[in-house]
Amino acid sequence: MKIIVLTVFLLVVPTIAFGDSSFNGKVTDSSDAPISAAMVLIHWDSAGSTVGLTTNVGIKEDLVIRTQGDGTFKVVLPPGFYDVFVAARAFSPTCRKIRVKQGDDLEVTLRMSPDPIYTAEMGDRIEAIPLKN
């Protein structure tokens, strides 16, 4: 029991001390089917921090991750404004601006549409091509 409490304490205290928050996402197609191995790029928008906005701490380097088999991803971020870009094979890229507040547990679903160029080129053969990377 002491080990569990200590583990929870060690995981929670740094989040509270530094103000980091959980950002959970899911990438799906237009029919809500998950898209695995999609590339998710998270870029901090530093606007506002240069004029004293103390709630826009952000990250200095872009973060690039891949979605899991069920289309989900999870990262821990400091408070701030972020641009989230998503790209996957056979789909048009999409993006969204998010705001992470201190202590948040933010959840976002990003929906992607099949790319018209890919659809036009592949026609009826789309079913036969695996979309996983």
Domains present along the chain, CATH in parentheses = 21-128 (2.60.40.1120)
Distance CA 6, CA 96 (A): 37
Residue 19 region, left (φ>0) first, then alpha (ψ -120 to 50), else beta? left
Q: What is the CA radius of gyration of the chain?
A: 18
Identify the pLDDT of residue 5: 39
Could you tell me the pTM of the whole model?
0.74
Q: pLDDT below 50 — which residues of the chain? A: 2-18, 126-130, 133
pLDDT for the residue 123: 60
Per-residue pLDDT, 110: 97
Please report the pLDDT score of residue 121 as a whole number: 63
Q: Tokens 């592949």: give the residue.
A: 122
Structure tokens belonging to residue 68:
């899991």
